[in-house]
Amino acid sequence: MQRYEINPWWMKKGLDPWSDSPHWGWKGQYKEPNHNFDECVDDRLRWMCGYSFVVDLPTNYSKDVKYPLLIFLHGTVKSKKMTFYHREKIRTEIFSPQNDPFVYAAPIKLEIDWDPKKIKDVIENIKNNINIDPERIYLTGLSMGGRGSFIVASELTKTFSAIMAVFPHHGPYSYIKLAHKLKKLPILITHGEIDKVSSFQVSKKMSDSLKSLGGNVIFKPRRNIGHNSWYEPYKDSTNIKWLLSWKKE
């Protein structure tokens, strides 16, 4: 994979995601952390570390119950609104069936693309602290997180029960070549037909490639919808119920 220059946006005031207290929203209870990095540590290289992440438990969480786990991957980082606001918006609006509540986890990446090994570490950390059903772990993401869902799942082929890619972005890394690794995984792809940021045609080509390989894929085009209309797919009970219906064989 080609190397791209990473802008250390996390070093700016109010943007550091490694806060000492859980923070979901763009506004609210954010607390500026004071890491006191050693002089020998270059904070511009923090993207090489593991992911910071937050977890949302079901309202009546019980340690005696095994819960599905849903991992959400955000898109490109341009500002704190991108990292904090969208994951809060989706967390509060995503459909959550009362009879099948799930644990929701949202990591933050500092690099360009999502790293499968770091996501695996996040999942293992959650499993060590929360009662998770290992047969019901799901992955979803929007824009670059949609492409990230393909990248991560293609390397962690035995981890996820199903994935949902929302408006997956087509570059800088092409995900179509990953179809052969994903052909056995139930996949839902949804994309706006007039998206000017992420390519609708590449998304459709991915769906066609998966189908040609015998894959279990649903492609949902959204008519007259552009790039920033991410929330509706997450509010759609049909999408979420479909995702949660799958268990690993």
User: What is the tally of structural domains in the chain?
Assistant: 1
Structural domain includes residue 180: yes
Residues 67 and 126 sit within 8 Å (Cβ to Cβ): no
Reduced to 3 states (helix: H, G, I; strand: E, B; else coil), residue 5 is coil
Structural domain includes residue 35: yes
Structural domain includes residue 1: no
Q: Which of 167, 161, 132 is nearest to 148 (CA)?
A: 167
Structural domain includes residue 2: no
Helix residue ranges, H only, the chain: 80, 86-93, 116-129, 144-155, 179-182, 200-212, 231-235, 237-244
- CA atoms of 54 and 247, how far apart (whole Å): 24
Q: What is the pLDDT of residue 229?
A: 78
What is the pLDDT averaged over residues 161-187?
Answer: 94
Over residues 113-151, the pLDDT tens digits come to 999 999 999 999 999 999 999 999 999 999 999 999 999
- CA atoms of 72 and 55, how far apart (whole Å): 10
Structural domain includes residue 249: no
Asked if residue 171 has pLDDT above 90, the reply is no
Q: Is the pTM of the predicted complex or chain greater than 0.85? A: yes
- CA atoms of 60 and 190, how far apart (whole Å): 31
Helix (H) or strand (E) holding 208: helix 200-212
**By residue range, what is the domain housing residue 147?**
9-244
Structural domain includes residue 130: yes
Higher-confidence position of 192 and 127: 127
Q: What is the pLDDT of residue 39?
A: 75
CATH code where residue 79 lies: 3.40.50.1820
What is the pLDDT averaged over residues 200-213?
Answer: 96
Structural domain includes residue 38: yes
Structural domain includes residue 48: yes
What is the pLDDT averaged over residues 187-193?
Answer: 94
Helix (H) or strand (E) holding 152: helix 144-155
